[in-house]
Amino acid sequence: MLAEPKLLKLNFGIMCLHIMLMSTFVALPGQLEAAGFPAAEHWKIYLVTMLISFVSVVPFIIYAEVKRKMKQVFVFCVALLLVAEIVLWGAGGYFWELVAGVQLFFLAFNLLEALLRR
């Protein structure tokens, strides 16, 4: 496994992506509660934003495949993930900023998950 550079890059990319996911979900529940959204209701935000992101990634995947722009879409996703983290970090107790950050995060995360396999 260590002798195969492509596999090593893939594994490292997946590891980094999942570290981002884990670290986001360590901080996010506290931020949502600080914004006045009770913990028992967090699933509603996660469900809606995940469903929207599942639908939203399809055009990006089609574009990347048809136009052979996989690298450009990949770089866009990494940048979007960075923007999502900045939005989440700066949202403080503002509910709608947190929702926007979560939406951007899930969009970038799900798209990267799909693209890393290729």
pLDDT, the chain, mean: 92
Check the CA dihedral 88-90-93-98 and report its sign.
negative
Contact 102, 88 (CB under 8 A): yes
Contact 21, 108 (CB under 8 A): no
Rounded to the nearest 5 percent, the helix, strand and coil shares of the chain are 85, 0, 15
Contact 32, 45 (CB under 8 A): yes
**Per-residue pLDDT tens digits for 9-57:** 888 888 999 999 999 999 999 999 999 999 999 999 999 999 999 999 9
pLDDT of amino acid 9: 83
The pTM of this model reads 0.88
Give the containing element (helix H, strand E) for 14: helix 5-34
